[in-house]
Structure 1
Amino acid sequence: MKKNHLLAKWLNDDLTEDELAEFKASPDFEKYQKIKNYTQHLQVDDLDEDAMLANILQQKKATPKVVPLYKNWMFRAAAIFVLVLTITFAVKSFVPETETASFGKRNTFLLPDNSEVVLNSGSEINYKKWNWNNKRRLELEGEAYFRVSKGRRFEVQTSLGKVSVLGTQFNVRARKNRFDVMCYEGRVKVNYRNTQIILTHGQSVTFHNGKQFSTSINSSKPEWIDNQILFNKENIRNLLDEVQRQYNITIVLNTRDTTSLFTGKLPANDLETALQIISTTYHLEAKKVSENKIIFDEK
């Protein structure tokens, strides 16, 4: 208590000489002296309470902002619209695109890099738009002709093998156990099981039942683009399968000779002529039992 009394008197400069000597001898005097030195220069303005009150009363209360209900509805509708657009974009970007050509039809379309694809009858292609320019890869079932734009590696994956190019024109056919690749421009790399081969302009390769056949081509594009079906040492059942695809018909074959191989062309836009060529080659008689059904019998 006495210590606090001396402190108060010291702050007001009311200590006697004896009291001041006693206070300076205390262990806390140095600390008190520093506090006094730092605070003695501070000045505090007099508080004008009346002016403060007047200022508060003059201020207007802020009017609360009211948002009409119809605006709330519009905001929600806009948010939903943006969400739908976002989901739609994601679906279109990440979900694989599918292009098909049904029997008797063809389908020509462009890929995201403007590479052109012509799908032959009874064929399908799947690919993803997302990051396409960095990963140009698609899956093919059936037959297609490609005009590939320049860019990164372009890959065609089939169940029988893979074709890789940079920018060229080529044809790929994967039917049953036969894999055909024809190069019409540039270079293509073909992978079939453990075999890898490079094709250049005018070259083609066929893998059939594990055997490899290489041939030359003289045309600038596949014959089927011009409605001609080209066969090279093809058995009659595979030949008729292709005819069924091109004309969207059903063919029944009643013959014991299925080993003879056919090399040549058949029209893809003239069924009567195609049937006549087949009948003459294999000594068969074609009977049209309905609009979309043909029966071949031995003569």
Structure 2
Amino acid sequence: MEEKYELAKWLAGEMTEKELQAFQETPEYQTYAKIAVYSSQLKAPDFDADLLYQNTIRHKKAAPKVIPFYKSKWMRIAAIFVVFLGLSLFFRTTITSTEIAKNGQKTTFSLPDNSEIVLNSGSQIQYKKWNWDNNRKLDLDGEAYFKVAHGKKFQVNTTLGTVTVLGTQFNVKARKNRFDVTCYEGKVKVSYNSKDIIITKGTAVTFENDYFDRKNITVQKPEWTANEIVFKKENLQSIVDELERQYSCEIVLNSRENAQLFTGTLPTNDIKTALDVVCSIFHLKISKFDNTKIILVDI
């Protein structure tokens, strides 16, 4: 036991000179010395902590690769497509188509169901093309002639009243406080001030404030589509307003208030003749006449 203790102290270098001299004189010293010499020549491999870490990671079972939704190329494309589709549907269902006939013009166009509409001068129609078969409604400002294709219910809305039809031909005029509806084929329902009136082929109705008139007609379509305007008990200012729309000009009335009403026909392609008739009926004369401005005064 003492021998192992002495050997441990010698290997640790803890012997005093006296103890070292005594240990070197023992028979086992030469054997121990040789072992120490050979042991000192053995070298342990360098320890590379970084290499050990990399090898550990390399042999570790690879975790499944998870790509976030927003980083996936195809997912981004799909998301863009969905947004584009949504925007397209939104615009298709909300955007309104507008047809306009400026002053001095008439416009003819067809609806998605091939119904034909002719807009008179100074008029406008708005409607939605999308899903037209299930939403056959439009908004009219002014005057228009309708040749409706046979099908489901068809509705014309104005600020003064509503006209509902089913496969027919009719004319609607909404100017200021006056609302005129004429039926040329089939039948229509006219709604005005919460009242409904059914009119059939050859019938015309007029509403103006508390005034109501119903009469029979013999013509097959509105006269204005053939360059004529028919007035029925209309005052001078209403006639002048219509002439301004038809001829796209300004007409100034420098005259006394005139309560006379006019029933008759005026041309829409000959302004001089139209003015001559108006002046004759209302006792006026032309004091200025050019392409943009006309002044009428009392005789």
Match of 2:255 in 1: 255
- Cα distance change on mapping 1:88 and 1:271 into 2, 3 Å: farther
> Per the alignment, in what secondary structure is the counterpart of residue 281 of structure 2?
helix
User: 1:94 deviation in Å?
Assistant: 2.9
Q: 1:84 & 1:278 partners in 2: Cα distance?
A: 58
What do residues 64-91 of structure 1 show as CA deviations (whole Å, max 9, x unaligned)? xxxxxxxxx9xx99x9899768755652
> Per the alignment, in what secondary structure is the counterpart of residue 273 of structure 2?
helix
After superposition, residues 1-299 of structure 1 pair within 5 angstroms as 87=87, 90-299=90-299
Q: 2:100 & 2:175 partners in 1: Cα distance?
A: 15
> Per the alignment, in what secondary structure is the counterpart of residue 239 of structure 1?
helix
> Per the alignment, in what secondary structure is the counterpart of residue 232 of structure 2?
strand
Q: 1:246 & 1:291 partners in 2: Cα distance?
A: 13
TM-score scaled by structure 1? Answer: 0.71
> Per the alignment, in what secondary structure is the counterpart of residue 151 of structure 2?
coil
Q: 1:89 & 1:107 partners in 2: Cα distance?
A: 29
TM-score scaled by structure 2? Answer: 0.71
Q: 1:260 & 1:269 partners in 2: Cα distance?
A: 25
Equivalent pairs: percent with the same residue? 53
> Per the alignment, in what secondary structure is the counterpart of residue 243 of structure 1?
helix
**1:144–1:173: 8 Å Cα contact kept in structure 2?**
yes
Q: 1:285 & 1:218 partners in 2: Cα distance?
A: 34
User: 1:195 deviation in Å?
Assistant: 1.8
User: 1:279 deviation in Å?
Assistant: 1.0
**1:135–1:152: 8 Å Cα contact kept in structure 2?**
no
- Cα distance change on mapping 1:264 and 1:289 into 2, 3 Å: closer
Match of 2:32 in 1: none
What do residues 152-202 of structure 1 show as CA deviations (whole Å, max 9, x unaligned)? 110001000000001100000000000000000000000001221111000
Q: 1:131 & 1:143 partners in 2: Cα distance?
A: 25
**1:162–1:191: 8 Å Cα contact kept in structure 2?**
yes
**1:237–1:258: 8 Å Cα contact kept in structure 2?**
no
Q: Which runs of 5+ in 1 are unaligned?
A: 1-72
User: 1:255 deviation in Å?
Assistant: 1.4
User: 1:132 deviation in Å?
Assistant: 0.9
Q: 1:274 & 1:125 partners in 2: Cα distance?
A: 27
Aligned residue identity for 1:285: K
Q: 2:264 & 2:178 partners in 1: Cα distance?
A: 17
**1:247–1:268: 8 Å Cα contact kept in structure 2?**
yes
Aligned residue identity for 1:229: I
Q: 1:258 & 1:85 partners in 2: Cα distance?
A: 60
User: 1:233 deviation in Å?
Assistant: 0.5
> Per the alignment, in what secondary structure is the counterpart of residue 150 of structure 1?
coil
> Per the alignment, in what secondary structure is the counterpart of residue 167 of structure 2?
coil
> Per the alignment, in what secondary structure is the counterpart of residue 142 of structure 1?
strand
What do residues 10-37 of structure 1 show as CA deviations (whole Å, max 9, x unaligned)? xxxxxxxxxxxxxxxxxxxxxxxxxxxx
What do residues 131-157 of structure 1 show as CA deviations (whole Å, max 9, x unaligned)? 210120011110000000111110001
Q: 1:195 & 1:86 partners in 2: Cα distance?
A: 41
Count of residue correspondences: 228
Q: Which runs of 5+ in 2 are unaligned?
A: 1-72
Q: Which of 1 and 2 has greater Rg?
A: 2
Q: 1:263 & 1:91 partners in 2: Cα distance?
A: 46
- Cα distance change on mapping 1:271 and 1:85 into 2, 3 Å: farther
Match of 1:46 in 2: none
